[in-house]
A and B are shown apart, each in its own frame.
Chain A
């Protein structure tokens, strides 16, 4: 597609439920990132995928968070047993690959845990 697509754009879930957030990167982009933006906070790195390499999961805040990238394209961020502090905008970005500095962000998924 022309840009990075994220779905859903908004998600309201009850505390304790699991949620899945989806990211469709730009076609051909080998690098994919997930970030979280909490109210009043800066962007927080969560996880990074680069081609077929093992992902950098060092930013995931707890073991309730996990992410997959199937076929080197679409990525799903899963949050299990959601907590209220998980409420944030989850942004996905993709880039053509290592050493290439052009990142494109999606519009994000606004997650609200009630």
Chain B
């Protein structure tokens, strides 16, 4: 069964600190993995998209890593800001279907305190 598991479920950190969010998946075959940020009451916004051959990708203070062998990804947030408080969702796409089905994790709820 294709699944995407994220940890931790929730996380509280102080402003300025770093944190790392984890994503494990069993989706096969694998096409790409995305990290989305979803603010309360808004739709998800893409942070990074990684393919099989990519190990790391950065977008400002966000750095995503991918280990396709162990089927694990992480999202590292550096020097957190209050505006980073949101849900971070890991999404994996398969290539078995021509329609590119997306599989979603339940997200990590990050809260940044001043």
| The residue from B4, B34, B43 contacting A101, defined by CB atoms under 8 A apart | B34
Give how many B residues have a beta carbon under 8 Å from the other chain's beta carbons. Answer: 23
Supposing A101-B34, A107-B42 touch, asked if A42 and B93 sit within 8 A by C-beta, the answer is no
Closest residue of A by beta carbon distance from B49: A101
Most chain A CB inside 10 Å of its own CB: which residue of B41, B43, B46, B49: B43
Most chain B CB inside 10 Å of its own CB: which residue of A43, A45, A106: A43
A103 to B38, CA, bound (A): 14
Contact with B along A94-114 (1 / 0, CB 8 A): 000011011111111000000
Q: Does A20 contact B (CB under 8 A)?
A: no
- Which residues of chain B are within 8 angstroms of A98 by Cβ–Cβ distance? 98-100
- Which residues of chain B are within 8 angstroms of A91 by Cβ–Cβ distance? 43-44
Supposing A102-B46, A105-B44 touch, asked if A50 and B93 sit within 8 A by C-beta, the answer is no
- Are the CB atoms of B42 and A48 closer together than 8 Å? no
Q: Does B106 contact A (CB under 8 A)?
A: yes
Closest residue of B by beta carbon distance from A103: B46
Write 11 A-B pairs (CB below 8 A) sorted by A numbering: A42-B105, A43-B104, A45-B102, A50-B99, A56-B99, A99-B100, A105-B36, A105-B44, A105-B45, A106-B43, A108-B41
A-to-B contact residues, CB < 8 Å:
4, 33, 35, 40-45, 48, 50, 56, 91, 93, 98-99, 101-108
Given contact pairs A42-B105, A105-B36, a sample of 15 additional A-B residue pairs in the complex whose CB atoms are under 8 Å apart: A33-B102, A42-B106, A43-B89, A43-B91, A50-B99, A91-B44, A93-B43, A98-B98, A98-B99, A99-B100, A104-B46, A105-B45, A107-B41, A107-B43, A108-B43
